[in-house]
Chains A and B, each alone.
Chain A
Amino acid sequence: MMDDRFEQWLREAAQQYHRPGTTPREEMWREIATRRAARRRWIVVRPVLRWGVGIAALLALGVAIGRWSARGPSSAPQQTVANAPDHASPLPYRLAAAQYLTRAEALLTGFRAEARAGEPSGQFATQARDLLATTRLMLDSPAANDVRLKSLLEDLELVLAQIAQLPAGADREDVQLINQGLEQRSVLLRLRTATPAAPTARAQGVL
Chain B
Amino acid sequence: MRSLRLRLIAFAAIAIAVALGAAWHVMGGLFEHLTEQRLAITLTHEGNALIAATRLGADGRPQVDMTDLDARTRRRASGLYWSVAAPGGEARSPSLAGAPLSTRALGKASTVAGWRKSEIPGPYETDLVLVERVVRIGTARVLVRVGEDDEPVDRARATFGHEMGLFLLALGVALSLAAWLQVELGLRPLRRVRRELAAMERDPAQRLSGGHPREIDGLIRAINALADARSEDVARARRRAADLAHALKTPLAALAAQSRVARSAGAGDAADAIDAILSAAATALESELARARAAASHAGVGAGVTCPAALIEGLFAVLERTERGMDLVFDLDAPADWRIAIDPDGFAEILGNLLDNAARHARRMVRVQGRLHGGRILFSVDDDGPGIAAEKRADALRRGVRLDESGSGHGLGLAIVADLVEATGGAVALDDAPQRGLRVVLSWPAALLRRDPPQSHPDPSR
Chains A and B are bound partners: no
